[in-house]
Amino acid sequence: MSCADVKSRGGIHAQPSTHEGVPGPVSGTGRADGRAGRPTMKDVAAHVGTSIKSVSRVLNGEEGVSAATSERILQAMAELGFRRNDLARGLRQSDRTRTIGLALPQAGTRFHDSLVHGIDEIAREQGSLVLTASSGTAARERETLTALCSRRVDGLIVVPSGEDHGFLRPEQQAGVPVVFVDRPPHGIAADAVLTDHAEGAREATTHLIRQGHRGIGLIGDDERIFSVAERVSGHRDALRAGNLPYEPESTRLGARTAEEAMQACRELLGSSRPPTALFTLNNQCTIGAVRALRALGLSRKVALVGFDDFETAELIDPPVTVISHDVEEIGRTAARLMFERMAGHSPAPARTTLPTKLITRGSGEIPGPQAAAGSGPR
């Protein structure tokens, strides 16, 4: 749920009273004194002609108010658009707001949508709301996290964009647990929930080698990104294990969009030694490679394995073989860690690494030259 969602759901739209014989608020304000703002218990008491204490008793389900007065108070609350301030009440009772903050580099991708779904599942079980905000740059990330903390969130889950998170130490010292997802933090000791990027990449490259491929092109985003660096490392490990050299000329990194990945793929396939297989390091790069292979008429001649599953992978011809990871479970794991910290569990910050899975669909099983010659392992 975004901050805008919270505002939309939590906003009070007061209506003037139409109850005959009972004084109502000035039209459109919900306040007995005509001032703008949310109606208060004082406004409800004035509307009914009773004490604030009586209103409080009805609000909290306490005894001491007659049935007739209780009914009038409940009716006045409905007419005025009164809502109990759970934020202030929570702060008084337990210093908790029952909200958690989630900062993402960008919204709207399958990864981030699945992550939010997993986090929200656990938050609902705990009776909490998730406030989600985008933080695409290091500067914006700091602004976003500072704003979430100023709203007194009970905990933070961060998919990091920046390289220094030391500014969150005062929040930790104040008792706000912080959990990082997908990439570890820098400048701060905190829990992190990660994917086993390197092992997934090793499995993808090993799979292509077993299909008889020796020339494997690599297309990915900026290697300074933790997940990209880990996947490149796993790819190189698999080449080494297969007694194959890592060839920089077969690597194209820095492709941030499907269009850039498509161009990178064209460059590799148009080189003097074109690869017979491709390993793409995220779904945007995979989509770009699919488009390039289709445009060049090579969809069934060049093998393809992509890291990260995507919704249309099974609909493409041939269907795309991928390295998949359970992003919803990553979200659930991060949320559970955060709520455990909130409950008082205080072991040393640790990394939790979740496994990946190879899903074979067809594109990654196109045989390479060594398989055709009968000398490659399958």
Contacts of 191 (CB under 8 A, 6+ apart): 177, 178, 179, 180, 334, 337, 338, 341, 349, 350, 351, 352
pTM of model > 0.75: no
The Cα–Cα gap between 137 and 86 comes to 33
Sequence letter at residue 11: G
Token pair 């790819």 is at which residue?
A: 235
CA 189 to each of CA 38, 72, 101, 179, 227: distance values in angstroms, whole numbers, following the listed order: 41, 54, 18, 10, 19
Nearest alpha carbon to residue 353 among 178, 202, 203, 195? 195
The closest of 318, 313, 314, 282 to 298, measured between CA atoms, is 318
The single-letter code of the amino acid at 4 is: A
Confidence (pLDDT) at 343: 87
Q: How far is CA 31 from CA 8, 21, 22, 51, 56, in A?
A: 20, 17, 14, 16, 17
Residues of the chain with pLDDT under 50: 1-29, 91-93, 374-378
Helices and strands in the chain, H and E counts? 14, 12
Rg (CA), the chain: 28
Query: Residue 310 and residue 282: Cα distance in Å, rounded?
Result: 10
The continuous run of DSSP H or E covering 331 comes out as: helix 327-342
Return the pLDDT at 261: 97
Q: Exposed/middle/buried for 41, CB within 10 Å: 0-12, 13-18, 19+?
A: buried
Rounded to whole angstroms, the Cα distance separating 261 from 291 reads 9
Q: Rounded to the nearest 10 degrees, how much is the dihedral formed by the CA atoms of 34, 37, 41, 46?
A: 0
Residue 3, pLDDT score:
38
What's the rounded Cα separation, in Å, for the pair 38 and 51? 19
Which tokens in the block code for residue 87?
């934020």
Measured CA to CA in angstroms, residue 179 lies from 136, 303, 331 at distances of 18, 38, 10
| Sheet architecture: strand order including 351-354 | 129-134, 99-104, 155-158, 178-181, 191-195, 351-354
* Strand duo 216-220 + 251-253: pairing: parallel
pLDDT recorded at residue 288: 97
Give me the pLDDT at residue 88, please: 54
pLDDT at 109: 73
Q: What is the Cα–Cα distance from 141 to 155, expressed in whole angstroms?
A: 16
Q: Strand 216-220 vs strand 277-280: parallel, antiparallel, or unpaired?
A: parallel
Contact status, residue 334 vs residue 193, Cβ threshold 8 Å: yes
- CA dist 62 and 76 (Å) reads 18
Torsion angle, alpha carbons of 260, 269, 319, 376, to 10: -140
SS3 content of the chain, % helix, strand, coil (to 5): 45, 15, 40
